[in-house]
Amino acid sequence: MNASGCDKLFPMNEKLPITGLTAAELADFVESHGEPRYRGRQIFKGMYQRRLRSFEEMTDLPKSFREKLDAIASPATVTVESKYVSEDGTRRFLMKTSDGLPVEAVFIPTEKRDTICFSSQSGCPLKCDFCLTAKLGLLRNLTPGEIVEQIVIVLNDVYGVDTETPHGTNLVAMGAGEPFLNFESLIKAINVMSEEQGLFIVPGRITVSTAGIVPKIHEFAKLEKRPNLAISLSAPTDELRDRLMPINRRWNIHELMNAAKVLERSLKRGERFTFEYVLLGGVNDSDDHANALADLLERYDLRRVKINLIPHNPAEQLDYFPSDELQVESFKLTLESRGVSAYVRRPRGRDIYAACGQLAAKEEPNLVKITSGARAA
């Protein structure tokens, strides 16, 4: 996007949101306003290396320039509405776009490393039967800037403004929305986040999850620099998957497996990809289902794959319940006995509606809420 294009998109009286611009695009922007290009790099560093959210704080810029910028551009558009902290340390951030739509991100600490789960859309258009986000419907696609800002907001809350991000912090595009229905913005956001002069979170530390938008998996497989991929499968047959994930009626398991095979062929040495499988008690969690899943992988000769088993996170509006603990174990062992790597993803932040499939912009007064600004214990 060049700056004159921006001017057309954003009328005179509205400030240009600049959080989704690369360092080079920011240089173009300042240049079009008669400033030297290096000022663009300074702003980029201010926004992403120091994670400042106002021009005022960027004191390496002349005051007059900061004031000028303030009149025409915005370095922060997403605001935090509320924050919920789970008993397991997970934090859910309910944010709002400048037009008032919900955006949710989750911080998940573990002993080894921290993970930030971010959203690609406000709401979600897919109607997965076991997912609470589906109940919101699609509100709209998020812009690259709105995607990047989620990460900045969470990092600032957890580690503090102007601090270094601990090495090894991972990102997962597993919040609200279907990332591959907002493909361009997602990839743009990942490019902005990976710049060395900024957040410097490289694609290798990012995992994107798709419900199976087949043409986009093919497009993704052609990308040179790309994140890791997870595909939500959750059923080994069309009959069952049609019911659980209606997107299967558009692209069925055969098309999905073919796309997965293309992706597998494009992996670099040592890389693998993931199938996610939500375990729904009595619905898709029997040993027969596990065997059918292993058969499916064999049929398409998929070897560089691991299965992430996600115990269902229940909610009042959902008609499913979690599998029996023993059955989770049995499902995993059945896969392993067939030579398939399987891991059980332990639920995090269930008590604050922060776990997989629970992001539905919930604002419950009885949840432990810590309003923005305050640090969690």
Instruction: Supply the minimum distance, in Å, between the C-beta of residue 357 and ligand SAH.
Output: 2
CA distances from 116 to 12, 151, 165, 206, 237 (A): 35, 7, 12, 10, 32
**Footprint (CB under 6 A) of ligand SAH, residues 240-299:** 276, 278
Q: What angle do CA 113, 117, 120 make, to 5 degrees?
A: 150
Q: Distance between CA 264 and CA 221 in Å, rounded?
A: 8
**Dihedral over Cα of 85, 348, 270, 228: its sign:** negative
Please, what sign has the CA dihedral across residues 336, 342, 346, 347? Answer: negative
Distance CA 39, CA 119 (A): 30
| Residue 143 near residue 133 (C-beta atoms within 8 A) | no
What is the nearest approach in angstroms of ligand SAH to the Cβ of residue 275?
Answer: 9
| Catalytic residue flag (residue 356) | yes
Catalytic residue (one of 25, 35, 104, 146): 104
Least Cβ distance, residue 233 to ligand SAH (angstroms): 8
19, 77, 313, 334: which one binds ligand SAH (CB under 6 A)? 313
Rank residues 224 and 319 by Cβ distance to ligand SAH and give the closer one.
319
Quickly count: other Cβ atoms within 10 Å of residue 240's Cβ.
18
End-to-end CA distance of the chain: 42
357 binds ligand SAH per the rule CB under 6 A: yes
Buried residues in 81-97 as b, exposed as e (16+ CB within 10 A): bbbbbbebebbbbbbbb
- Locate 138 and state its tokens: 């699609």
CB of 211 to ligand SAH, least distance (A): 4
Q: Is 6 a catalytic residue?
A: no
The contact mask relative to ligand SAH for 314-353 (x = CB under 6 A, - = no) is ----------------------------------------
Q: Which of 310, 328, 335, 352 binds ligand SAH (CB under 6 A)?
A: 310
Residues sharing a CB contact under 8 Å with residue 95, sequence separation 6 or more, in sequence order? 78, 79, 80, 81, 102, 103, 104, 105, 149, 150, 153
Q: How many CB atoms lie within 10 A of CB 19?
A: 23
With CB under 6 A, what is the number of residues at the site for ligand SAH? 17
* Least distance in angstroms from the C-beta of 190 to ligand SAH: 15
Query: Residue 69 or residue 173: which is nearer to ligand SAH going by CB?
Result: 173
From 232, 248, 323, 334, residue interacting with ligand SAH (rule: CB under 6 A):
232
Residue sitting closest to ligand SAH (CB): 357
The one-character DSSP state at 49 is I
* 93, 130, 273, 331: residue in contact with ligand SAH (rule CB under 6 A): 130
Which amino acid makes up residue 171?
Answer: L
Candidate ranges 71-79, 124-132, 155-163, 368-376; the one touching ligand SAH (CB under 6 A): 124-132
Closer to ligand SAH by CB, 178 or 264: give it.
178
| Listed residue (91, 98, 99, 94) closest to 81, CA to CA | 94
Q: Give me the least distance between CB of 241 and ligand SAH, in Å please.
A: 11
Question: Segment contacting ligand SAH (CB under 6 A): 22-30, 106-114, 187-195, 203-211?
Answer: 203-211
Cα(353)–Cα(365) distance, rounded to whole angstroms? Answer: 13
Is residue 123 close enough to count as binding ligand SAH by CB under 6 A? no
276 within 8 A of 260, measured Cβ to Cβ:
no
Q: Which stretch binds ligand SAH (CB under 6 A): 87-95, 105-113, 309-317, 328-336?
A: 309-317
Considering only residues 137-196, where is the footprint of ligand SAH by CB under 6 A?
174, 178
CA 88, 358, 296: angle at the middle one, nearest 5? 105
Which of residues 43 and 186 has its CB atom nearest to ligand SAH in the complex? 186
**Of 19, 115, 209, 323, which lies in the binding site for ligand SAH, with binding defined by CB under 6 A?**
209
Q: Which of residues 103-122 bind ligand SAH (CB under 6 A)?
A: none
Residues at the site binding ligand SAH, with contacts judged by CB under 6 A: 128, 130-131, 174, 178, 209-211, 232, 234, 276, 278, 310, 312-313, 356-357
Active site members: 104, 356
